[in-house]
Amino acid sequence: MPVVTRYAPSPTGALHIGGARTALFCWAYARHHDGQFLLRFEDTDRERSTLESETVVLEALRWLGIDWDAVPGFEDVPRQSERGPRYEEVLAKLLESGAAYRCVCDDARLEHLRERARQGGQAAVYDGACRERGIAADCAEPFCVRLRIDAHAPTRWDDAIAGASGQDASDLGDYVVARTDGTPIYHLACSVDDHDMGVTHVIRGREHMSSTSRQLPLYSAMGWQPPAFAHVPLLVEASGKKLSKRQDAVSVQSYRERGFSPQAVLNFIARLGWGHGDLELFDREQLAEVFEMSGVGHSASQVHEDKLLWISQHWIKTLPMDELVEQLQPFLDAEAGRPVEDSAELRKLLDLLRERSKTWVEMAAQAGFWLRDEIELDPKAARKQLKAGIAGPLGELRAALADLTEWTEETLDPTFHAVAEKHDLKLGKLAQPVRVAIVGVPQSPGIFETLAVLGKQRSLQRIGAALEYIAARDSEGGD
RNA sequence: GGUCCCAUCGUCUAGUGGCCUAGGAUACCAGGUUCUCACCCUGGAGACACGGGUUCGACUCCCGUUGGGAUCACCA
């Protein structure tokens, strides 16, 4: 039987990396087995579900490169809100067979029940008061529908990650499957959907563990073969707390905005709670190739971004230039304050910067000296490197550079060395002031490469400006 | 409170009843390389939560303790 997995988010906000990771595992498992990966929106919570959120979730998945298959019979990603009739149908069958029954217990009684159970140190489960009352559909009182969970109901399963799982049926109680208004509760909708969509492997977060105990009897009541279950351990914050608080900071969108490539984010989240020997760096396809459920760990993982930064740098270093430019473009535009045109020169610069950037944001910032015509000197660096003593050699260097007819690393190099030697300076003593002059800060790619890519005119102009800076400072008495 | 789950370097993880005084990665520190930064290279420090068992032998199995977490809705 071909593998079918699904990711079924509630469209109530951004897709955070915990959800993205679950989706990724579902995707990888399906792809590994040449199966199908489906999507569905669990939007039965009408209050919180929004269309906008659906778009955000889909966009995040797309960005990560997690592609999904179409669900037969649906043009779009299925929504639970559109499947009401089907749930009613199942509900009717459940009622008819006696697997479910109508319950007229009101909130007050239920609350009382819970309180008493808690006081007595017992599990707060429904006492089954309406179980044998045979309440009919034409009952005058408002009623909900509960699933009958007998002592022998199947509530245990062999989890693909957690192993033997489940709890006693007696700890569950007859839970509600349909509200007073007739709408289905999650467990019903979810089970029916998974069954109808032909899902063979439900891979979901650990927080759904007890849902499974409840859903299994439902499958049994309908005479359906339940899917295999795999519950993925949670992701927690660096503080060890649940991942929901700073949700915006850990949303896929946030990582995107902070300048991480989808490759890096995917690589990073896959390694959170999953491992394959010593494999650290891999792309989507490689992941699908080696992904096994047995590689998923049993304990929660903390989201520390140290490793993400390293992974991100790796991808920036190795991405094909075309893709690099494509991903970097928005950050470049933002840095420049205008649309930046692609060019051979730009690409030369980016090749120099890609070795020393951990994010697109960082890379764009480092490109700032090239993107702008005017630069600002970092005060501290200027004070340190642009001192009176260097004015002479720097002036001479500028003159020598001005005489160059060819402006390449090969012509720049000997020019520098000649001036440095003449003044008995180490290359660094000359290179650093020049670096600060043309870049503004004391770090950049190699000085010759940087000059070459900046161009003769702008380089000479900036060195000239630096000389003026020194002169101005000198006349003020310097420090 | 009931039920259930988890526990290896700061972090992500590998691992097996003896080959592990525990491997990789990252982060950190120190060197090297270099015109700076980064990359890269070399080295360093750093963990089996605790206590009982079982066993010839446990990080690995069992029990308890502690710590963390999930869930117990007419939310999903």
- Nucleotide lying nearest to A177, CA to C1' measure: B74
Q: For residue A80, which nucleotide's C1' is closest to its Cα?
A: B76
DSSP state of A156: E
pLDDT of residue A245: 52
Position A218 scores a pLDDT of: 96
Q: How confident is the model at residue A478 (pLDDT cuts 50, 70, 90)?
A: very low
A281 touches strand B (CB under 7 A): no
Phi-psi domain of A109 (left: phi exceeds 0; alpha: psi -120 through 50; beta: other)? alpha
Q: In the β-sheet with A144-147, what is the strand arrangement from edge to edge? A: A100-103, A144-147, A176-178
Q: Is the pLDDT of residue A57 over 50?
A: yes
Cβ-proximal residues to A143 (8 Å cutoff; 6+ apart), any chain: A102, A103, A104, A135, A180
| C-beta separation of A200 from A224 below 8 A | no
Token pair recorded at residue A431: 């290179």
Average pLDDT score over residue span A285-294: 95
Checking if the pLDDT of A248 tops 50, the result is yes
Q: Residue range A275-280: average pLDDT?
A: 92
Whether CB of A425 is under 7 Å from strand B: the answer is no
Of A438 and A121, more confident: A438
CA of residue A202 to C1' of nucleotide B66, angstroms: 34
A226, HSE (Cβ side, Cα atoms, 13 Å)? 22
Rounded Cα distance, A398 and A18, in Å? 56
Q: Cβ of A196 < 7 Å from strand B?
A: no
Separation of A36 CA and B14 C1' (Å): 31
Residue nearest to nucleotide B39 (CA to C1'): A355
* Segment A136-148 mean pLDDT: 93
* Structure confidence at residue A144 as a pLDDT band (50, 70, 90): very high
Strand boundaries in A288-347, DSSP class E? 301-302
DSSP 8-state code for residue A70: P
* Segments making up each domain of chain A, as ranges: 319-371, 379-475
Q: What is d(CA A170, CA A338) in angstroms, rounded to the nearest whole number?
A: 66
Q: What is the pLDDT of residues A216-228, one digit of tens each?
A: 999 999 999 999 9
Q: What is the pLDDT of residues A81-96, one digit of tens each?
A: 999 999 999 999 999 9
Q: Poorest-confidence range of A18-32, A124-138, A195-209, A253-267?
A: A124-138
Q: pLDDT tens, A431-447?
A: 999 999 999 999 999 99
Return mean pLDDT, chain A: 93
A444 CB inside 7 Å of strand B: yes
Number of other CB atoms surrounding residue A72 within 10 Å = 10
pLDDT of the residue at A48:
86
Q: How many CB atoms are closer than 10 A to CB A137?
A: 8
Residues 376-415 of A with CB under 7 A from strand B: none
Query: Mind listing the pLDDT tens digit for each residue in A319-351?
Result: 999 999 999 999 999 999 999 999 999 999 999
Would you say the C-beta of A318 is within 7 Å of strand B?
no
DSSP β-ladder status, A163-166 and A156-159: antiparallel
Rounded CA-CA distance A193/A177 in Å is: 14
What is the Cα–Cα distance from A3 to A22, expressed in whole angstroms?
16
Question: Tokens representing A370?
Answer: 């090239």
CB of residue A300 closer than 7 A to nucleic acid strand B? yes
Protein CA at A307 to nucleotide C1' at B27, angstroms: 8
Cβ of A477 < 7 Å from strand B?
A: no
CA–C1' A158–B55 (A): 29
Can you give the distance from the CA of residue A14 to the C1' of nucleotide B38 in angstroms? 34
How confident is the model over A68-88, as a mean pLDDT? 94
- How many Å from the CA of A84 to C1' of B58? 56
Pick the closest to residue A453 from A352, A359, A304 (CA basis): A352
Q: Which two tokens stand for residue A166?
A: 């489940």
Strand B within 7 A of A61 CB = no
Q: What is the per-residue pLDDT across A368-420, written as a single tens digit (0 to 9) for each?
A: 999 999 899 999 999 999 988 899 999 999 999 999 999 999 999 999 999 99
**CATH architecture of the domain covering A379-475:** Orthogonal Bundle (1.10)
A234 touches strand B (CB under 7 A): yes
Residues composing chain A:
479
Beta strand A176-178 with A163-166 is unpaired
User: How many Å from the CA of A209 to C1' of B5?
Assistant: 9
Half-sphere exposure of A21 toward its Cβ, with a 13 Å CA cutoff?
Answer: 28
Q: With the C-alpha atoms ordered A376, A382, A388, A391, is the resulting torsion angle positive or negative?
A: negative
Give the pLDDT of residue A46. Answer: 79
A 9-28 residues, CB < 7 A, strand B: 10
Which nt sits closest to A121, CA to C1'? B1
Q: What is the pLDDT of residue A179?
A: 94
A441-455: buried (b, 16+ CB within 10 Å) or exposed (e) per residue? beebbebbbbbbbbe
**Residue A238 φ/ψ, nearest 5 degrees:** -60, -25
> Which residues of A are known catalytic residues?
245
Q: What is the DSSP letter of A82?
A: G
Cα–Cα distance, A310 to A44 (Å, whole number): 40
Which pLDDT does position A407 carry in this prediction? 94
Tokens 């006696």 correspond to A98
Question: Measured from the CB, is A115 under 7 Å from any atom of strand B?
Answer: no
Q: Note the strand B nucleotides within 7 A of protein beta carbons.
A: 1-8, 10-15, 23-27, 35-39, 68-76
Give the sign of the dihedral formed by CA A371, CA A374, CA A379, CA A383.
Answer: positive
Q: Is the CB of A461 under 7 A from strand B?
A: no
A234 CA → B47 C1’, Å? 22
Nucleotide nearest to A439 (CA to C1'): B36
First vs last C-alpha separation in chain A: 80
Nucleotide B40: nearest residue by CA–C1'? A355
Q: So what's the ipTM on this one?
A: 0.94
